[in-house]
Structure 1
Amino acid sequence: MKLYIAEKPSLGRAIAAALPKPHKNHKTHIELANGDVVSWCIGHILAQANPEDYDIQLKKWQMNTLPIIPEQWQLKPIYRTRSQLTALRALVKKADEVIHAGDPDREGQLLVDEVIDYLKVSKTKKEKIKRLLISDLNLPAVKRALKALKHNSEFMPLSISALARSRADWLYGINLTRAYTIQGQKSGFNSVLSVGRVQTPVLGLVVRREQEIANFISKPFYQVLAHLQTHQNEGFSAKWQPSEHCQPYCDNEGRVLNKALAENVIARISDQPAIVEDINTEKKQQSAPLPFNLSSLQISAAKQFSMNAKLVLDVCQSLYEKHKLITYPRSDCRYLPKEQFKQAPAIVKMLSQSNLPAQPLSVKQQAENADISLKSKTWNDKKVTAHHAIIPTEKSANNLTLNPFEKNIYGLIVRQYLVQFYPAYQFQQTNVTVNIAKGLFTCRVNIETEQGWKQLFPANKKEPHEASNNQALPALNKGQALHCKEGVLIEKNTSPPASFTDASLLSAMTGIARYVKDASIKKVLRETDGLGTDATRAGIIDLLFKRDFLKRQGKAIIATETGIALINALPEHATLPDMTAQWEATLTAISEKETSYQHFMTPLTQTVTQMVNSAEQQDFSCLPKVAFKPKRGKKKFQKHTVKKAS
């Protein structure tokens, strides 16, 4: 008997639908006509054991018992899903062959692998386990996946990476939450100070941003525009570029802070001859953006529809599991396997019959104008991991009832897929340098020559810049004489950094290298290395809101009094993304066979030990004095439970 173990019932039913009928449906599994069985987990059915499961004395939070570092890691069944684990135990014993059908990511890989290990599957049987990778729950896609089984051993690095992440979160969260909570209580803060390997640096990003805003002092700065004319009285503007001699009067972004200097430039150039020192015209093009992974979809939805990350993920799960309109959504990849290109004509044809509206072109128009002979750079087997980019399936949405959120997210995914079949956006860029009274003035003008994929997107409504690339430029030649009619002073003020929003906080977590201070750590990070994974970032942000560390002010995400106090009380390195970003990069390296589990866990354990030992030296007096609140109508104190922090 073959036993298929899916990650969840919906996936199990989709697999069974592609296998021999008739079926016998049971609460815990489906029997197939040929005697094989499809069963499932219900998400995680095992969890890391609690400290008291290792030693009952550890139930009490005491500094002298920290750090808690298990010698032999243990898992325990989750109470609400114990019956499913019992059913799997019986089925695994009967099975001649097991097929792993967890979701196609590192968490899905570990989720089924740890069940197989917990049930003590024999080494012989384990060596024969196959891996079924399904990213589209529609019948044709499932049938294709069943014909492309791989050896589960190929995915062990992915599983080890997830295991390391799980244990790291336990070690860091359990030990530091206990250590800092105990110290906080000594200062009168009688509540739990939740600390996590990922959540705390994310909170640190928000707190530091708000501190920057609070401490920001706006300063005026000055620009000079030269209004130029040709002998034919054709005009255009160019912006002054301060020379090296002017740098003492500029800030670190090259903005002139001295008004007298700018006014002196205006006096020198007004009603003066000018000459075109250089002119360069180039043909340029911009390829279509890649299809979405989860983070880029969440960022786009936050910008366009003000949807938070958790809502986007929930909507994606509905589009994937309930409606079967999109492929697996918890993806960190923006590329597609070359094999998938064979499905493109069917998908585009289905979309060309869509009745869903969109701006500026309906989905039907987007698909009808697509050229499926074009093949963008997204089809690249070398850049596809265990999962691929999020794209529409071959199933039509015409007869489905979608809520507004589902329509919006599906529309984004469809458009991002269809632009792969549009030509590049093309434009002609002209850069002009003009010399006036020995000062250099420049302007850049872009002229669109082919709209290409940009015809699917609403026009950019940004304000044009002074001497911008939107102005009309007369015909010019190098060495041409011009006349500077006048210089114009433009006074502006430096602006504070903007508060984080859903979009910008997700963007910061995704490309964390921008916020890392340590140059040596920054060097090893890639542009895509981040805090958390695509699948966990929404949950981390949501957790910070639930724990009252973050709150919303309109679209802005700001820290609460407790969140600010916690970051100020913790050691700086616990609140910075540097260490965590490096750990995330190492976890990725484990999944790509570039480093080992031990290489990650040993330094992490040492760091946790050092941080626990130094906890007593931290000053928690800045925390608000909070007592346990009794439940309404009861005199007993409300108990606080601590989830495993991440």
Structure 2
Amino acid sequence: MRLFLCEKPSQARDIAKALGVRGKGEGCLTGAGVTVTWCIGHLLETAPPDAYDPRYKQWRLEHLPIVPEQWRMQVKPKTASQFKAVKRLLGQASEVVIATDADREGEMIARELLDHCRYRGPIQRLWLSALDDASIQKALAALRPGASTFSLYHCALGRSRADWLIGMNLSRLFTLLGQRSGYQGVLPVGRVQTPTLRLVVDRDRSIEAFQPVAWWGIDVKLEAARQVFIAQWQAPKAACDEEGRCLQQPIAEAAKAKMASAPSAQVTDVRTERMKETAPLPFDLGTLQQLCSRKFGLGAQETLDIAQALYETYKAITYPRSDCGYLPMSQHAEAPAVLAGLKRADPALVPLFDHINPGRRSRAWNDAKVSAHHGIIPTTVAPNLDKLPPRHRQVYTLIRARYLAQFLLEHSYDRTRATFECAGETLLATGKQVIEPGWKRALPEALAAQPGREPAQPLPPLARRDQCPVRDVQLKNNWTQPPKPFTEGDLISAMKNVARLVEDPKLKQKLKETTGIGTEATRAGIIQGLLDRGYLTKAGKALAATPAGCSLVDAVPRAITDPGTTAIWEQALDMVQSGEMPLEEFLARQSAWMSKLVERCKGLNVTIEGQAKAPAWKKKRKPAGARRAPAGKGRKRTAPAE
């Protein structure tokens, strides 16, 4: 019997349908010689410390560090019945096709079951990027050898166990140290969670320490060819800061007085340049979360949940947990079918299709830049927008617009920069004239304008030595602005681009290659976990660290809050995945590093201000003092805190 092992029930139903499997069994769908079964995320979890030694039920400093000699897995109680069904089917299978999500965590979900149930038969891999029937059939016709993705399992297993070592030991350590000073509650520490919290703490402190500085600007209204436009005063460099802002009020007032009495300004130079902008890439998850946060006020987890529903329930988009915006060249052949489906589903798009060229190949199609998953794009199953919930419709419309943009011309415009002399002062006016809207035709109107920027003004025809009458002169008193508080979208962006904060060039490059700290699949859960525990608060869109969050960042060793640590881990995990480093060696190094850290920190005095709150899922449990540190929220948690 050939057994397809899927990650979740909805995925199993889609694959069974494509296989023509219609019979129902216990925890599976059955057909002639083929059975499709499913997990529910991880059916197994890393055993807690007390599974290795009952004395670890009590949290004590003398027990630390806890390093398992032989790692154990245990069945999750909530899904034990499905585990039994899968185990029984594995015992009957002559061949297994791993059909979990096509990433390292999906690989682990399947492989840990095969190991735990001691399956030793042939294995193949189904690598899916979308769950519509056409995509499934295409993947079924190109099954991969199981060995081709096995290294992903060891990579995921290394990450999971290292996270367990850090989270379990340091969470216990700092919880116990906090209790010495009267803090009640668990202090979770994790490789991704703690550096993420530090990002917000650092931003809040930079806002608090910010000292505003006054600066002055002058707007001069000029006229030419019966059109009024605005030119900005260019202050002398000696009076300006690094960003060209005039800090000396007397100089600005004197310039304003001179120009207010001048009859006109003379054009000294005019330069017009034809500019072209290529279409933005299709979305990766992080970019989608950032835009949905900015435009719609959606939280990172909310955006992920909506995208997951569009993928699983509506079959309307491809795999959403992608860290890549590029598309494989082979996907371009499917473009006419996708475009036709979009046009049929929404008559409002018909005028746009007068400008769309299905044969156009933008920079998005690039095999060399496609990672495990390609950009998030629509499938041929285009939904009726009126039948989508409002938030789902908003997110889908963004994804659709980015895809349609790939088949439109470049956006082109003429950018004009004109300089003027007015009473011995220099003025600059900039203008923009759109020549070809191009891909911007596809974008919703709300997305076309840059946030925080006024639309560029068109300039009248100008030539050197033209005299432009002065119609008004306005002196503006401004203040430098502090950094803005993080929104969830901003924090996602900061996690992705955390390499900017790392000085070591090798670690900086590694963080760029691995797209920062966390993954597309876990970042939303990390942020939500910090909110749920009370280390972050949210007012409107703005995030802020609580006193407990600030204290925790101050108490934890910098090695844990430093994103460079994640870069070092990822370098080692890359070596595990490539076969350069055995999994056992990686874990031995992690254990030794963590053990030294624990011993160094046992004597610290830890004071935590305020009181964090227990997550809602934890409130019904017994007091934390007799339990292991809690796991962060997320679909695939295997460690107490990532």
Per the normalisation by structure 1, the TM-score is: 0.87
Question: Which residue in the other structure is 2:111 paired with?
Answer: 113
- Amino-acid identity (%): 37
Residue 604 of structure 1: CA displacement?
4.2
Instruction: Give the equivalent residue in structure 1 for 2:332.
Output: 341
Q: Is residue 512 from structure 1 mapped to residue 510 from structure 2 by the alignment?
A: no
Counterpart in the other structure of 2:48: 50
Which residues of 2 match residues 401-480 of structure 1 at below 5 A? 401-434=387-420, 441-456=427-442, 457-458=444-445, 460=448, 469-477=456-464
Partners of 1:240 and 1:527 lie apart in 2 by 43
Q: Which stretch of the first structure deviates more once superposed, 380-389 or 395-404?
A: 395-404
C-alpha change, 1:573 and 1:367, in structure 2 (3 Å) is farther
Partners of 1:440 and 1:635 in 2: how far apart?
Answer: 70
> Which whole-Å CA distance do the structure 2 matches of 1:428 and 1:604 have between them?
56
Q: 1:450 to 1:636 in 2, by over 3 A?
A: closer
Contact 1:190–1:628 (8 Å) recurs in 2:
no
Specify whether residues 11 and 276 from structure 1 end up closer, same or farther in structure 2 by C-alpha distance, changes over 3 A only. same
**Count of residues paired in the alignment:** 627
SS in 2 for 1:253: coil
Aligned to 2:602, the other structure's residue is in SS state helix
Q: Which moved more, 1:52-61 or 1:491-500?
A: 52-61
Moved more, 533-542 or 424-433: 424-433
Q: CA deviation at 1:104?
A: 1.2
1:535-591, Cα deviation, whole Å (9 max, x unpaired): 111111111111111122122112223222222333344334332355356646765
So what's the TM-score if we normalise by structure 2?
Answer: 0.87
AA aligned opposite 2:149: F
Q: Indicate the residue corresponding to 2:248 in structure 1.
A: 258
The match for 2:28 is: 29
Q: What is the CA–CA distance in structure 1 between the aligned matches of 2:229 and 2:613, rounded to whole Å?
A: 67
Query: How far 1:388 sits from its partner (Å)?
Result: 1.7
1:168-204 deviation line (CA, Å, top 9, x unaligned): 2111111110110110000000211111111111111
Aligned-pair distance for 1:215? 2.2
Task: Provide closer, same or farther for how the CA distance between residues 583 and 476 of structure 1 changes in structure 2, counting only shifts above 3 A.
Answer: farther
Unaligned 5+ segments in structure 2 are 632-639
Partner of 1:59: 57
User: How far, CA to CA, are the matches of 2:130 and 2:457 in structure 1?
Assistant: 44
- Partner of residue 601 from structure 2, selected from 615, 639, 646: 615
Structure-2 separation of matches of 1:337 and 1:171: 38
Q: Aligned partners of 2:581 and 2:463: how far apart in 1?
A: 58
Is contact 1:184–1:623 with CA below 8 Å preserved after alignment?
A: no
Give 1:317's match in structure 2, choosing from 302, 308, 320.
308
Partner of residue 381 from structure 2, selected from 395, 411, 417: 395
Query: CA 1:638–1:242 in 2, change beyond 3 Å: closer, same or farther?
Result: same
Query: Does structure 2 retain, via aligned residues, the 8 Å contact 1:583–1:600?
Result: no
Q: How much is the aligned-residue C-alpha RMSD, in angstroms?
A: 3.5
Residue by residue, what CA displacement relative to the aligned partner does 1:42-99 show, whole Å, maximum 9, x if unpaired?
A: 2101111211222223222222222222233222221222333333333333333221
Cα pair 2:282 2:375 within 8 Å, conserved: yes
Aligned to 1:359: none
1:312-333 CA-to-partner distances (Å, cap 9, x unmatched) read: 2222222222222222222212
* 278-287 or 542-551, larger mean C-alpha shift: 278-287
Distance in 2, matches of 1:428 and 1:628, equals 57
Partner of 2:210: 216
Compare 574-583 and 526-535 and name the one that shifted more.
574-583
Q: Which amino acid aligns with 2:3?
A: L
Aligned mates of 1:628, 1:121 — CA distance in 2:
40
How do 1:279-290 residues align onto structure 2 when only pairs under 5 Å count? 279-290=270-281
Residues 609 and 635 (structure 1), Cα distance of their counterparts in 2 relative to 1, 3 Å cut: closer
CA distance in 2, matches of 1:306, 1:634: 31
Counterparts of 1:592 and 1:254 in 2: how far apart (Å)?
Answer: 49
Cα shift readout 1:99-151 (whole Å, capped 9, x = no counterpart): 111111221112112222222233xx3xx421101222222221111001112
Alpha-carbon distance between aligned partners in 1 of 2:581 and 2:473, rounded to the nearest angstrom:
60
CA distance in 2, matches of 1:141, 1:634: 43
Residue 118 of structure 2 corresponds to residue 131 of structure 1: no
- Residue 103 (str. 1) matches residue 95 (str. 2): no
Task: Write out per-residue CA displacement over residues 345-370 of structure 1, whole angstroms, 9 at most, x where no aligned residue.
Answer: 112111112248xxxxx345545653
Indicate if the aligned counterparts of 1:354 and 1:364 stay in contact, CA closer than 8 A: no
**How far, CA to CA, are the matches of 1:332 and 1:579 in structure 2?**
21
Q: Using the alignment, how far apart are the partners of 1:626 and 1:310 within structure 2?
A: 21
Kept after mapping to 2: 8 A contact 1:366/1:418:
no
In structure 2, relative to structure 1, the CA distance for the partners of 1:447 and 1:627 (3 Å cut) is closer
Q: Aligned equivalents of 1:409 and 1:441: distance in 2? A: 43
Q: Among residues 151, 154, 160, which one is paired with 1:166 in the alignment?
A: 160
Report the secondary structure of 2:478's partner residue.
strand
Q: 1:414 to 1:63 in 2, by over 3 A?
A: same
1:86 maps to what in 2? 84
Moved more, 217-226 or 514-523: 514-523
Separation of aligned partners in 1, 2:400 and 2:565: 37
CA contact (8 A) 1:628 1:638 kept: no
The answer (yes or no) to whether the contact 1:512–1:577 under 8 Å persists in 2 is: yes
Aligned to 1:328: 319
Query: Given the alignment of the two structures, is residue 10 of structure 1 paired with residue 6 of structure 2, yes or no?
Result: no
- Residues 273/613 of structure 1: CA separation in 2 closer, same or farther (3 Å cut): farther
Unaligned runs of at least 5 residues, structure 1? 357-361
- CA-CA distance at 1:214 after TM superposition: 2.1
Comparing 548-557 with 614-623, greater Cα deviation is found at 614-623
**Residue 226 to residue 591, structure 1, CA distance change in 2 (3 Å):** farther
Q: 1:54 to 1:77 in 2, by over 3 A?
A: same
Secondary structure in structure 2 of the residue aligned to 1:386 = coil
> Does the aligned pair in 2 maintain the 1:291–1:416 contact within 8 Å?
yes
Alignment map for 1:332-371 (pairs within 5 Å): 332-355=323-346, 362-366=348-352, 369-371=355-357
Structure 1 residues 211 and 242: CA distance shift in structure 2, 3 A: same
SS of residue in 2 equivalent to 1:88: helix
The secondary structure found in structure 2 opposite 1:526 is: helix
Which residue type is aligned with residue 119 of structure 2?
V
Compared CA separation, residues 335 and 87, structure 1 to 2 (3 A):
same
Give the direction of change, closer, same or farther, for the CA distance of 1:596–1:243 in structure 2 (3 Å limit): farther
Q: Give the alignment of 1:525-536 within 5 angstroms.
A: 525-526=511-512, 529-536=515-522
Name the CA shift for 1:303/1:587 in 2 (closer, same or farther; >3 Å): farther
| Partner residue in 2 for 1:645 | 641
2:142 pairs, out of 131, 145, 148, with 148
- Describe the shift of the 1:611–1:431 C-alpha distance in structure 2 as closer, same or farther (beyond 3 A): farther
Residues 385 and 393 of structure 2 are in contact (CA less than 8 Å); yes or no, is this contact kept in structure 1? Answer: no
Structure 2 counterpart of 1:256, which letter? C
- Structure 1 residues 348, 564: closer, same or farther in 2, change over 3 A? same
The residue type equivalent to 1:453 in the other structure is W
Structure 1 residues 366 and 582, CA gap change in structure 2 (3 angstroms)? farther
Q: Which amino acid aligns with 2:372?
A: A
Structure 1 distance, partners of 2:576, 2:407, is: 35
Give the drift of 1:259.
1.6
Correspondent of 1:177 among 171, 177, 182: 171
Counterparts in 2 of 1:277 and 1:587: CA distance versus 1, 3 Å: farther
3-state SS in 2 of match to 1:341: helix
**Displacement after TM superposition at 1:525 (Å):** 3.2
> Which one-letter code corresponds to 1:24 in the other structure?
G
Change (3 A) 1:483 1:603: farther
SS for the counterpart of 1:164 is helix
